[in-house]
Structure 1
C-alpha cells in the first residue's frame, strides 16, 4: 500500500507538472507567433520608433515591406514585422551619432531633419519640456552609420584634378569657404575649384555622415560625406582634417582647413557632388 501511494503521488505530481508546462507554453507560443505580425501605423510613429519597438532594424522593416526609408508612413498603414533574430545573447548596444546644436535650432527642427520624433529626441538625451538648447551643445541622435556602411565611394578619375575650364560659378552661393572664386574643372573630373584664404576653415554645406577621410588618389586630403538624401559630397585638397569616419556633421560644421596648391602655391580646395555615382553640378546640389 505504501509503495502504491508513493507511486500514485508521483503520478499526480507528473500530471500537475505536465499541465503547468502546457499552460505556461500557451503565452510563449502566442508571443512567438506574434513575432512575425502586422503593425498598424499610429500618429507620430517613425520607421525608427517602430523598428525599435519590435527589436529589429529600420533596414529589416523596410525590406520586409518593399519600401525605403524615404517613403512616407501613413496613419493606419499596415506593416509586416519580421521575426526578430534571437540568439540567446544580449543585443549589441546601439551606437549614436552626435548632432551639434546650431544657432536658432529647436527640438522640432532637429528631430525633423533626423527622421525621429521630438519625444524620441528628448528621451535619448534626457531632456524635458523646460530644457533649453545652446549653440554648440552635443545631442545624441540615432546612428546613421548603417546607411553608409555598404555605400561605395564615387569612382574619381585617378588623374590630376587641376584641369580647369573657363566656366565660372556663382560665388554668392553657400560654399565650403567664404567668398571664393568658383572655377569649374573639365575633363572626366566634374566639380569646382574654390579659392580660399590661407588656413581658412572648410565647412560642410550639407548635413551627413563622414564616409572617408585621408589621402585619396591624386586629390590630396579628402573628406567624403553622405547626406540622407543620398548625395555624396567630396571636399578635396584639404590642408588638415578635423573630422573622422563615422562622424555626423551638420551644415556649417568645420571639416578641416584649406590646402595649398602645390603648383600655384595658393590656398584652395575642390568640391565634387555625386548622386547614385553620377556627378551633380555643385552649384545645384542641396545645401543646408
Structure 2
C-alpha cells in the first residue's frame, strides 16, 4: 500500500511539473514564434511589433487568451520573408494611476448651542444608527431651543420621530427635537436660545426621551462639539 501511494505521488508530481514547463520542440522558423510558459498573446505581439488582432487573424485563433506552451505562432504576415516590423522597444505599461483620495468634507462653521434638555445623555451620535444625541428625562420636562431661530416644522409627519419640532438657525443649520409630549412652539415662531418649545415625552419611542439632531446643509452632524 505504501509503495503504491509513493508511486502515485511521484506520478502526480511529474504531471504537475510537465504542466509548468515547455516540452522540447524544434526551433521556430523565420517569421514564427514558439510559445513559452507564461507568455501572453499581448506580450508576444508587443515584442514582435505586431498587434493582438494581427496575430489572432494570421493564426486563426478562436480565443486569443487560449495559447499554450510549445504552440507555434506566425508573427509575420503570410507570404512575407518573415522580418518583423521595426519598432523601438515598447515601454512597459505603467501602473494604473491611483484614484485621488477624496478631499475631506469642508468643516462646518461654528455654531454655539445650548443644551436642549437637562437630562442625562443616554445615546451618542454615531452617524449611522444614531444621528444625534438622546437625553433621558421625566415626562413633561422642558425641551429648549438650542439656538435662536425660526420654527419651520411642527408635527408628526415622520413616524419614527414622533412629535417633532425643527428650528432653522441659518441657511445652513437646523436643529430637530423629537419624541415630544406637548408641542409649545408653532410654525413661523421666532424663538430665542434656551426658550421652552416643547415638553419631553415618548411619542415614536419606547421610553421618555429627547432625540436631538444638528443638521448642516441637510446632513446630520455630531452636535457634541458645538455644545458646552
Q: TM-score, normalised by structure 1?
A: 0.36
* Bigger radius of gyration: 2
**Structure with more contact order per residue of length (Cα contacts < 8 Å, sep ≥ 6):** 2
Q: Which has the higher helix share?
A: 1
Q: TM-score, normalised by structure 2?
A: 0.45
